[in-house]
């Protein structure tokens, strides 16, 4: 009997002792800060991209070419792209119409999503910079890339926190301070104190080899050219000469070439049953094709791959459900983004860029038969994209609007596309140089040389004279779907104008987005709202 | 599978073995009758005091009991009657008359022991078998639906595979577990799914914090204590069989247009006329069978063993489950009755045909002129691509529902095994020690298969990659080791009971998921031959994941003192110190105290006809933690880069300062009884502070915008009232009625955000439309949106609520100070009512249970999407309730779709007849007819007016969601399973 009691109390004691000592949580199914995976440090590394692979991967995570983030907020408030409410489809609480009409507000989900995505990416770069396994060149790449992310924040929100180390807090900087930070980081990476026609980049830690997936001197120059081109918007002080000098440096070194007639790739979108589909894509179309990975025009690009590097979803975002059968897509598209009619019509017929940029007209399937839309709302079953759009809301026709197709679709494509997305490409560098020189000179005709290089490639007549409006239109034709239209309209003073179903903005406070409501609240008062919101 | 077979045989062997050891001694017989009516009391407990020998009275109130030598007293007890004790004299016949009324000495199971009902100072309600809801009930929670004031049990719709949402006194936490803790025969955290309703004797509900605090963090959302039936130590075995056969029909779907009306309304005519709801539903036949045996084994032991089999089918074709459950309870006293051993074990296996609720949603919205089969298509249609079925190609979120029901497979298998052993040793006559060991393991697997011809999830339109097989498996284990000692002492008019002990709990969970597609064709079920998949040749299509939780531990020390003075003043105090591995170092331990005092005023006031007038006040603090692991740690996600690198990025930031969420509850109770009338009133105030939530943090600083934080404070105030009255009590006619009422309001007092909106309406076209407002200072559950005023050119006109001449009704402006939004309703009911009526006429009895909830609203999302006559999408059917607005052709969320969902229903009607066959082999037969959901009175035009307390989120275009948002009550989603009316015929045999 007493033996039993002793046993009982012994058990009690065992439990009690165990109880006091062991409350450690060992997370066996999660990656925590304590985990070290062979060959990588927290933040990433290894593989052929070296320790910076996580930094470059963050470009895909930062909404560069999908719905709901950076791409959407740069494109949908402009005159080149719109998502109409199609009956019961795509109204989404009016937030897409708000983007079109510039009535967006601080609680807009895309405005918050873009902010979060961008700071996530900055954190990834900060973690790498905080580690100790980057050499001087890699550090310069990382800082240059981080400066590019701050350039996005500068452009979208103006006043943001400049965080350069994980976990650190900082006061909200003025737009001019953010501009100065981006400028100094990029200049540091280039190893110079200022951009000039006579600058010597030999002191730069960045390389010069053309590799569009890594930041080299030319990529950094392209980004600083964008920064200076918009400097007047950001700070009130124009920096045209520096923009022109940075662009010139890229063009003059001759490392990159425009993709002309001889620059070809196989047409991966070709249908077996449609003889008129070309076997190859050349020139402008080849720059954006699904197999554009070795294009000589790409200076700095985001790598996308359908299997291993997802994040570009244009086929889903832009095309009608039934267009699945033209390209034999793995998944049904969403029928969202379309082009405004006026913008579509700004392209003249014969402009290679028109054909390369849009999906329009009656649609045929893989075998060449007409695609039928059994749920058709326009009285006929044939799927036919019309450039004209009947209305923005509530009952835009399902097949209204030419569809953006510049990043062309391939047969049997997946929801994630293969096309690389250029952030700096030579075509835009010509336009930046032309514009900066013209504005510096006070004469738009100064830009003609650069503009005509691109018009020749597009197989349209050269201009003999040009003005600001025509330059902006030309920029629109060249840069459609590349996420720059909002910046261009603001810089040209057109962003607040009326177009199609958008009235003129009552105030230009909409030229920067509001600081997201959630972030204002989460920051505990360390962020304040932009004027006008 | 092996375990299943072995266990069945083992139990069967035990059945047989135990039945053979009954012993006979001196036999005492007698009759137990009602003192007032002289009616025999059937099933009254008769036990020899101080032993485990006992029996129950038969249908004539007669009993026969073998009394061991030296036994002195026999105790008679019967629910609803005062327990009496009789001395055993020389006579072998003892007749007893028992008086109806509140049994003040009745013992109620509370935490780590029992207490006399009278001495309890907290809010505890015990419901016993005879008061349970009747009918075809496979979810034990439904036994209590409407029976306990403040306990919400809602199972929206009639999906047999859904578990009930259980809430005690509303929302007890935001991020942690909101379901009450279940304790089965002393085993904390046992699974309610592993006990068959047939095996339950009583369920106690510990409602307030002072009662639950002894269970620490796991008791924070209240405690439900289940006591299973035990064998009664009688001379012979008692066998019992319980069987039911039932059928059900759709109680309510939603009004839609038929084919002709649809065409008249401008819909695209595809030539056929199809009633899609009819096509996917049926009136199933269901069976349940329960067999149990129990009795004494020798003088000191008893057992009960049972087997239950259920075949349950839903009203949607190919949905339902088959369940097998076996349970064994055994108890024995050894060492001169000083050591009591209780052993309990149960095993449940459930084969579930889950199906896809979405089929019902598509049955509502599918074009009623579309044919079922492609062969009847009005135009050329490649039927073989879709397994012979028609599909409206090119339309978003539209799938032939018959094809889903017939082609897609979604099945699951769940098996659960547990055992517990309880050793209780009386060291002294007033000191006992109890040790408890319990383990439970649950295996679950879910297989989903969409053949290459399935448009829904099978991607049949894809030219390249068709067919999908998904496999999911999980295992969960739970272990409990507890020990506690109880010491009793008396001095003068005082009694003191002290309990102290510790508890060690450990749980572990792991799961694996795998999906693969692109199968050759539809000639085989390729989920059994996945090596045929072409995904194996293509990177990026195969999905696989696995997870294992850490060993989550809870370690606790607890103590309690119950003090009574003069049998009229009662004091209870307890404290529990508990540590959890989930929190950061330094914050792991929490102390949770409770205190209660109760006074039987009538002992001093002596109001003549009053039997009981007791007031009590209880205060208790409990803690709570969310289910997830690694709350305080940094979590990173891992990804492979095309460069060959492996990257990790921050997914959740660390919060080493995270501390226990605390719930403090003050409860005031009043208990009164007088003759045939009794009532209990409870008032409570509950503060939940530092509730834990994964919230948005400053992404600039943390690098990621999510981490767990102590995020706010909730206050709930409520009132609960229970009334019982024996209206008629006579020889041949008895009528008892009882009402429970409850009301509460939960207000968000502090929150990390001033306001946010939640509960997205969803695709098509209504993303970014959050319908619920969560705002500091406001009630939880407010539905928020613009106010509908009329229609103009097909579009709704909204009200200029603030009268500033500007309409601000965009969803991204919902939180603007000048937004024209207002509270359109609240998803939480103001008042909930349960009304029980028991009528007994001779051998007949009628049980009518009415239930209602009032003051809550629901967003009818079927109407919000499909009631406007969208001129552009004429291939969805139109919902056509009496609330439809002529000429409205635009779908915009507004007050138009928020409906009051007050309801009152005859939840359960049971008519039964008892046949006494004393001399036959079968002692008695009871035959009953039951109807569930006999009628429902409501103005709600949706599918089910029951409150929706948890939002599962929106899902469209073949996706399913598993969200579980407790801050977004009040949304009836489109994939809600239709509710059903059930007719059941039951028979109960005792032999």
Which residue is closest to A107 within chain B, CA to CA? B812
Percentage of chain A modeled with pLDDT above 90: 79
| Most B-contacting residue of A303, A374, A397, A412 (CB-CB within 10 A), to test interface | A374
Cβ contacts (< 8 Å) between B433 and chain A: which residues? 8
Q: Do A307 and B540 touch (CB under 8 A)?
A: yes
CA dihedral B457, B460, B462, B463 (to 10 degrees): 150
| Most A-contacting residue of B426, B558, B637, B768 (CB-CB within 10 A), to test interface | B768
Cβ contacts (< 8 Å) between A409 and chain B: which residues? none
Q: Tokens in use for B646?
A: 């492996």
A342 within some domain: yes
Name the more confident of B918 and B304. Answer: B304
Lowest mean pLDDT among B25-34, B805-814, B874-883: B25-34
Lowest mean pLDDT among A97-101, A315-319, B157-161: B157-161
Q: Do B766 and A372 touch (CB under 8 A)?
A: no
Lowest mean pLDDT among A234-248, B56-70, B293-307: B56-70
Q: Do A43 and B649 touch (CB under 8 A)?
A: yes
User: What separation, in Å, do the N-terminal and C-terminal C-alpha atoms of chain B show?
Assistant: 32
Cβ contacts (< 8 Å) between B766 and chain A: which residues? 88, 91-93
Cβ pair B838, B948 in contact under 8 A: no
- pLDDT grade for B872, boundaries at 50, 70 and 90: low
Query: Is the model's pLDDT at B920 over the cut of 80?
Result: no
Q: Do B553 and A98 touch (CB under 8 A)?
A: no
Cβ contacts (< 8 Å) between B750 and chain A: which residues? none
Lowest mean pLDDT among A74-88, A509-523, B14-28, B719-733: B14-28
Q: What angle do CA A491, A493, A495 make, to 5 degrees?
A: 95
The edge-to-edge listing of strands for the beta sheet with B857-860 is B898-900, B857-860, B971-972
Task: Pick the closest to residue B385 from B450, B454, B448 (CA basis).
Answer: B454
- Which pLDDT value is given to residue B3? 39
A374 within some domain: yes
- Which pLDDT value is given to residue B7? 43
Distance from CA of A90 to the nearest CA of B (A): 4
Query: Is the model's pLDDT at A38 over the cut of 70?
Result: no
- pLDDT grade for B50, boundaries at 50, 70 and 90: low
A490 within some domain: no
A382 within some domain: yes
| Most A-contacting residue of B336, B433, B642 (CB-CB within 10 A), to test interface | B642
Which residue is closest to B638 within chain A, CA to CA? A31
Q: In this structure, are strands B409-428 and B54-56 parallel, antiparallel, or unpaired?
A: unpaired
- Which pLDDT value is given to residue B953? 85
Quickly tell me which residue has 């692979």 as its tokens: A53
- Which pLDDT value is given to residue A13? 55
pLDDT in tens, B796-820: 999 999 999 999 888 888 888 889 9
A263 within some domain: yes
- Which pLDDT value is given to residue B956? 66
Average pLDDT over residues B537-555: 89
A401 within some domain: yes
- Which pLDDT value is given to residue B23? 37
Task: Pick the closest to residue B273 from B359, B367, B362, B361 (CA basis).
Answer: B367
Nearest CB to A30; choose among B339, B423, B635: B635
Cβ pair B710, B691 in contact under 8 A: yes
Nearest CB to B812; choose among A32, A107, A306: A107
Average pLDDT over residues A81-105: 91
Q: How many domains does chain A have?
A: 1
SS3 for A455?
helix
Average pLDDT, chain B: 87
As a whole number of angstroms, the distance between CA A521 and CA B299 comes to: 70
Query: Is the model's pLDDT at B270 over the cut of 70?
Result: yes
Percent of chain B as helix, strand, coil, to the nearest 5: 10, 50, 40
Query: Is the model's pLDDT at B954 over the cut of 90?
Result: no
Domains of chain B: 1-100 (2.60.40.1120), 239-696+712-787+827-990 (2.40.170.20)
Most confident of A87-91, B33-37, B481-485: B481-485
A279 within some domain: yes
- pLDDT grade for B941, boundaries at 50, 70 and 90: very high
- pLDDT grade for B958, boundaries at 50, 70 and 90: low
Percentage of chain A modeled with pLDDT above 70: 92
The edge-to-edge listing of strands for the beta sheet with B62-67 is B62-67, B26-34, B96-98
Cβ pair A365, A371 in contact under 8 A: yes
- Which pLDDT value is given to residue B69? 73
Nearest CB to B644; choose among A47, A95, A163: A47
- Which pLDDT value is given to residue B152? 85
- Which pLDDT value is given to residue B10? 45
pLDDT in tens, B204-249: 999 888 888 888 888 888 899 999 998 876 557 888 999 999 999 9
Cβ contacts (< 8 Å) between B553 and chain A: which residues? 22-23
Average pLDDT over residues B118-127: 87
- Which pLDDT value is given to residue A10? 54
Distance from CA of A116 to the nearest CA of B (A): 6
Q: Do B647 and A94 touch (CB under 8 A)?
A: no
Q: Do B648 and A167 touch (CB under 8 A)?
A: no
Name the more confident of A8 and B294. Answer: B294
Distance from CA of A127 to the nearest CA of B (A): 9
- Number of A–B residue contacts, CB under 8 Å: 356
- Which pLDDT value is given to residue B8? 46
Query: Is the model's pLDDT at A43 over the cut of 60?
Result: no
Query: Is the model's pLDDT at B51 over the cut of 70?
Result: no
Q: Do A414 and B463 touch (CB under 8 A)?
A: no
Average pLDDT, chain A: 92
Percentage of chain B modeled with pLDDT above 70: 94
- pLDDT grade for A133, boundaries at 50, 70 and 90: confident
- Which pLDDT value is given to residue B640? 83
- Which pLDDT value is given to residue A181? 98
| ipTM of the complex in this document | 0.87
Cβ contacts (< 8 Å) between B392 and chain A: which residues? 374-375
Q: Do B767 and A58 touch (CB under 8 A)?
A: no
Query: Is the model's pLDDT at B308 over the cut of 90?
Result: yes
Which residue is closest to B815 within chain A, CA to CA? A107
pLDDT in tens, B643-656: 788 888 888 999 98
Q: Do B870 and A16 touch (CB under 8 A)?
A: no
Query: Is the model's pLDDT at A28 over the cut of 90?
Result: no
Q: Do A412 and B464 touch (CB under 8 A)?
A: yes
Lowest mean pLDDT among A23-32, A74-83, B257-266: A23-32
- Which pLDDT value is given to residue B539? 83
SS3 for B810?
coil
Q: For the residues of B457-468, what is the DSSP string, one character each?
A: TT-TT-SS---E
Cβ contacts (< 8 Å) between A414 and chain B: which residues? 540
Q: Do A27 and B695 touch (CB under 8 A)?
A: no
- Which pLDDT value is given to residue A36? 60
As a whole number of angstroms, the distance between CA B333 and CA B331 comes to: 7
Nearest CB to A303; choose among B588, B629, B642: B642
Quickly tell me which residue has 């130590």 as its tokens: B233
Query: Is the model's pLDDT at B935 over the cut of 60?
Result: yes
Which residue is closest to A521 within chain B, CA to CA? B753
Which residue is closest to B634 within chain A, CA to CA? A32
Lowest mean pLDDT among B63-72, B191-200, B535-544, B625-634: B63-72
Lowest mean pLDDT among B153-157, B400-404, B501-505, B588-592: B153-157
Which residue is closest to B589 within chain A, CA to CA? A23
Output phi, psi for B9, to 5 deg.
-70, -40
Cβ contacts (< 8 Å) between B890 and chain A: which residues? 394-395
Most confident of A18-32, A44-58, B472-486, B573-587: B472-486
Nearest CB to B540; choose among A23, A167, A306: A306
Query: Is the model's pLDDT at B517 over the cut of 90?
Result: yes
Q: Do A412 and B392 touch (CB under 8 A)?
A: no
Q: Do B552 and A375 touch (CB under 8 A)?
A: no
Query: Is the model's pLDDT at B4 over the cut of 80?
Result: no
- pLDDT grade for B100, boundaries at 50, 70 and 90: low
A91 within some domain: no
- pLDDT grade for B11, boundaries at 50, 70 and 90: very low
**DSSP assigned state of A508:** G
- pLDDT grade for B633, boundaries at 50, 70 and 90: confident
Q: Do A522 and B433 touch (CB under 8 A)?
A: no
As a whole number of angstroms, the distance between CA A36 and CA A30 comes to: 12
Which residue is closest to B811 within chain A, CA to CA? A93
Percentage of chain B modeled with pLDDT above 90: 51
Distance from CA of A8 to the nearest CA of B (A): 8
Nearest CB to A15; choose among B463, B481, B696: B481
HEC readout, A84-103: CCECCECCHHHHHHHHHHCC
Which residue is closest to B396 within chain A, CA to CA? A321
Range of the domain at A378: 259-295+304-386+396-419
Query: Is the model's pLDDT at B556 over the cut of 60?
Result: yes
In chain A, count of helices (H) and strands (E)? 20, 10
Task: Pick the closest to residue B964 from B254, B162, B150 (CA basis).
Answer: B162
Q: What is this structure's pTM?
A: 0.85
pLDDT in tens, B746-760: 999 998 888 889 999
- Which pLDDT value is given to residue A240? 98
Quickly tell me which residue has 């073949």 as its tokens: B958
As a whole number of angstroms, the distance between CA B80 and CA B99 comes to: 9
Q: What angle do CA B308, B314, B318 make, to 5 degrees?
A: 105
- Which pLDDT value is given to residue B6? 45
Task: Pick the closest to residue A320 from A363, A271, A358, A283 (CA basis).
Answer: A363
Q: Do B551 and A4 touch (CB under 8 A)?
A: no
């Amino acid at each position: 009997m007493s033996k039993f009691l002793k046993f009982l109390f012994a058990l009690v004691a065992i439990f009690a002792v165990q109880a006091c000592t062991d409350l450690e949580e060992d997370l066996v199914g999660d990656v925590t800060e304590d985990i070290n995976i062979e060959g990588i440090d927290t933040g990433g590394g290894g593989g052929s991209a070296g320790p910076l692979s996580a930094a470059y991967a963050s470009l895909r995570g930062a909404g560069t070419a999908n719905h709901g983030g950076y791409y959407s907020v740069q494109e949908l408030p402009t005159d080149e792209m719109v998502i109409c409410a199609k009956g019961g489809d795509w109204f989404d609480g009016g937030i897409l119409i708000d983007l079109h009409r510039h009535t967006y507000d601080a609680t807009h989900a895309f405005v918050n999503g873009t902010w979060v995505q961008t700071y996530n990416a900055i954190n990834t770069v900060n973690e790498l910079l905080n580690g100790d396994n980057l050499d001087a060149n890699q550090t310069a790449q990382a800082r240059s890339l981080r400066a590019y992310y701050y350039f996005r924040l500068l452009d979208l929100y103006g006043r943001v926190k400049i965080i350069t180390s994980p976990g650190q807090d900082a006061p909200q900087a003025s737009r001019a301070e953010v501009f100065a930070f981006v400028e100094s980081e990029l200049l540091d990476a280039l190893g110079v104190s200022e951009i000039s026609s006579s600058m010597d980049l030999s002191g730069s830690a960045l390389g010069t080899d053309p590799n569009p997936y890594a930041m080299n001197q030319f990529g950094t120059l392209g980004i600083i050219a964008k920064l200076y081109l918009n400097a007047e918007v950001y700070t009130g002080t124009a920096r045209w000469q520096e923009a022109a000098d940075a662009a010139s440096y890229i063009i003059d070194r001759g490392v990159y070439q425009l993709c002309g007639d001889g620059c070809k790739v196989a047409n991966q979108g070709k249908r077996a049953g449609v003889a008129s589909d070309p076997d190859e894509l050349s020139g402008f179309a080849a720059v954006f094709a699904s197999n554009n990975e070795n294009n000589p025009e790409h200076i700095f690009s985001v790598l996308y791959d359908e299997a291993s590097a997802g994040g570009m979803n244009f086929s889903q975002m832009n095309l009608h459900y039934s267009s699945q059968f033209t390209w034999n897509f793995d998944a049904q598209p969403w029928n969202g983004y379309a082009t405004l009619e006026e913008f579509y019509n700004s392209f003249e017929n014969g402009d290679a860029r028109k054909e390369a940029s849009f999906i329009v007209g009656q649609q045929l399937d893989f075998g060449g038969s007409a695609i039928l839309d059994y749920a058709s709302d326009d009285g006929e079953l044939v799927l036919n994209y019309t450039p004209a759009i009947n209305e923005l809301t509530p009952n835009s026709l399902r097949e209204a609007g030419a569809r953006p197709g510049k990043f062309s679709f391939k047969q049997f494509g997946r929801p994630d596309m293969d096309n690389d997305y250029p952030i700096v490409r030579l075509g835009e560098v010509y336009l930046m140089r032309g514009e900066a020189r013209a504005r510096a000179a006070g004469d738009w005709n100064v830009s003609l040389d650069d503009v005509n290089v691109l018009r020749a490639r597009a197989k349209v007549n050269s201009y003999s004279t040009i003005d600001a409006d025509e330059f902006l239109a030309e920029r629109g034709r060249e840069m459609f779907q590349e996420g720059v239209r909002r910046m261009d309209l603001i810089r040209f003073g057109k962003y607040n104008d009326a177009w199609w179903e958008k009235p003129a903005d009552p105030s230009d406070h909409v030229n920067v987005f509001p600081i997201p409501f959630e972030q204002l609240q989460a920051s505990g008062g360390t962020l304040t709202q932009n004027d006008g919101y | 599978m092996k375990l299943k077979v072995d266990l069945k045989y083992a139990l069967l062997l035990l059945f047989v073995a135990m039945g053979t050891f009954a012993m006979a001694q001196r036999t005492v017989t007698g009759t137990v009758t009602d003192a007032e009516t002289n009616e025999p009391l059937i099933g009254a407990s008769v036990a020899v005091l101080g032993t485990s020998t006992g029996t129950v009275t038969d249908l004539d109130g007669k009993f026969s009991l073998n009394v061991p030598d030296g036994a002195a007293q026999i105790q008679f007890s019967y629910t609803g009657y005062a327990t009496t004790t009789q001395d055993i004299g020389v006579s072998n016949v003892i007749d007893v008359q028992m008086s109806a009324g509140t049994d003040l000495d009745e013992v109620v199971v509370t935490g780590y022991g029992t207490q006399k009902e009278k001495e309890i100072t907290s809010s505890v309600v015990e419901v016993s078998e005879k008061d349970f809801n009747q009918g075809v009930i496979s979810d034990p929670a439904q036994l209590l639906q409407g029976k306990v004031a403040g306990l919400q049990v809602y199972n929206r719709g009639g999906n047999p595979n859904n578990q009930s949402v259980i809430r005690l006194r509303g929302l007890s936490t935001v991020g942690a577990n909101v379901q009450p803790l279940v304790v089965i025969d002393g085993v904390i955290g046992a699974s309610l799914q592993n006990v068959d309703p047939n095996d339950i004797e009583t369920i106690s509900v510990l409602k307030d914090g002072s009662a639950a605090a002894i269970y620490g963090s796991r008791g924070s959302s209240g405690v439900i204590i289940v006591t299973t039936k035990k064998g009664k130590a009688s001379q012979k075995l008692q066998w019992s069989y319980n069987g039911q056969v039932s059928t059900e029909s759709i109680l309510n779907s939603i009004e839609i247009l038929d084919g002709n009306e649809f065409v008249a309304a401008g819909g695209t005519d595809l030539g056929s006329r199809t009633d899609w709801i009819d096509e996917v539903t049926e009136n199933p036949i269901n069976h349940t069978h329960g067999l149990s045996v129990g009795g004494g084994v020798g003088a000191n032991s008893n057992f009960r063993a049972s087997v239950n089999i259920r075949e349950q089918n839903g009203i949607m074709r190919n949905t339902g489950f088959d369940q097998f459950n076996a349970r064994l309870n055994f108890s024995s006293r050894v060492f001169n009755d000083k050591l009591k051993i209780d052993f309990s074990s149960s095993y449940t296996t459930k084969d579930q045909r889950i199906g896809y609720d979405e089929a019902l949603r598509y049955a509502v919205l599918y074009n009623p002129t579309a044919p079922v089969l492609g062969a009847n298509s009005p135009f050329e249609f490649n039927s073989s691509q879709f397994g012979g079925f028609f599909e409206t190609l090119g339309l978003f979120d539209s799938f032939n529902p018959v094809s889903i029901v017939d082609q897609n497979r979604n099945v699951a298998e769940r098996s659960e095994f547990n055992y517990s052993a309880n050793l209780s040793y009386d060291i002294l006559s007033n000191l006992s020690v109890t040790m408890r060991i319990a383990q439970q393991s649950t295996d679950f697997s879910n297989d989903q298969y969409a053949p290459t011809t399935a448009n829904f999830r099978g991607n049949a339109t894809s030219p390249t990659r068709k067919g999908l097989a998904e496999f999911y498996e999980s295992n969960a284990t739970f272990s409990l080791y507890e020990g506690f000692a109880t010491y009793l002492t008396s001095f003068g008019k005082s009694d003191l009971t002290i309990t102290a002990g510790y508890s060690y709990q450990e749980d572990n969970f792991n799961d694996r998921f795998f999906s693969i597609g692109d199968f050759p064709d539809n000639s085989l079920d390729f989920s059994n031959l996945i090596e045929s998949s072409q995904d194996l040749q293509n990177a990026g299509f195969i999905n696989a994941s696995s997870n294992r939780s850490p060993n989550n531990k809870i370690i606790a020390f607890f103590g309690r003192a119950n003090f009574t003075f003069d049998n009229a003043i009662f004091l209870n105090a307890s404290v529990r110190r508990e540590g959890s591995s989930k929190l950061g170092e330094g914050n792991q331990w929490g102390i949770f105290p409770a205190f209660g005092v109760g006074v039987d005023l009538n002992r001093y006031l002596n109001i003549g006809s009053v039997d009981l007038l007791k007031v009590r006040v209880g205060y208790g603090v409990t803690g709570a933690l969310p289910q997830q692991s690694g709350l305080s740690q940094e979590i990173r996600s891992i990804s492979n880069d095309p460069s060959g690198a492996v990257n990790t990025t921050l997914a959740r930031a660390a919060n080493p300062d995270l501390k226990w969420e605390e719930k403090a509850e003050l409860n005031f109770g009043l208990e009164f009884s007088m003759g045939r009338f009794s009532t209990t009133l409870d008032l409570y105030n509950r503060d939940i502070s530092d509730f834990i939530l994964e919230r948005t943090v400053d992404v600039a600083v943390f690098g990621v915008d999510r981490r767990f934080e102590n995020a706010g404070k909730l206050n709930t105030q409520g009132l609960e009232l229970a009334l019982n009255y024996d209206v008629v009590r006579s020889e041949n006619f008895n009528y008892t009625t009882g009402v429970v009422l409850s009301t509460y309001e939960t207000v968000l007092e502090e929150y990390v955000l001033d306001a946010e909106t939640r509960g997205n309406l969803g695709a098509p076209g209504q993303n970014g439309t959050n319908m619920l407002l969560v705002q500091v200072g406001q009630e939880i559950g407010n539905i928020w949106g613009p106010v509908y005023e009329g229609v103009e050119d097909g579009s709704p006109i909204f009200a200029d609520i603030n009268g500033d001449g500007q309409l601000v009704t965009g969803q991204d402006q919902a939180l603007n100070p000048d937004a024209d939004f207002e509270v359109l309703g609240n998803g939480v009911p103001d008042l909930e009512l349960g009304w029980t009526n028991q009528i007994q006429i001779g051998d007949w009895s009628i049980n009518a249970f009415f239930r209602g909830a009032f003051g809550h609203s629901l967003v009818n999302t079927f109407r919000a999407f499909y009631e406007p006559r969208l001129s552009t999408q004429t291939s969805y059917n139109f919902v056509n309730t009496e609330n439809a607005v002529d000429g409205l052709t635009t779908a915009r969320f507004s007050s138009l779709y928020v409906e009051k969902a007050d309801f009152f229903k005859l939840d359960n009607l049971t008519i039964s007849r008892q046949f006494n066959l004393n001399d036959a082999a079968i002692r008695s037969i009871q035959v009953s007819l039951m109807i569930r959901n006999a009628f429902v009175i409501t103005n709600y035009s949706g599918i089910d007016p029951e409150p929706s307390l948890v939002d599962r989120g929106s899902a469209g275009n073949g996706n399913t969601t598993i969200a579980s948002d407790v801050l977004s009550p009040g949304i009836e989603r489109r994939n809600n399973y239709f509710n059903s009316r059930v007719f059941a015929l039951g028979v109960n045999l005792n032999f």
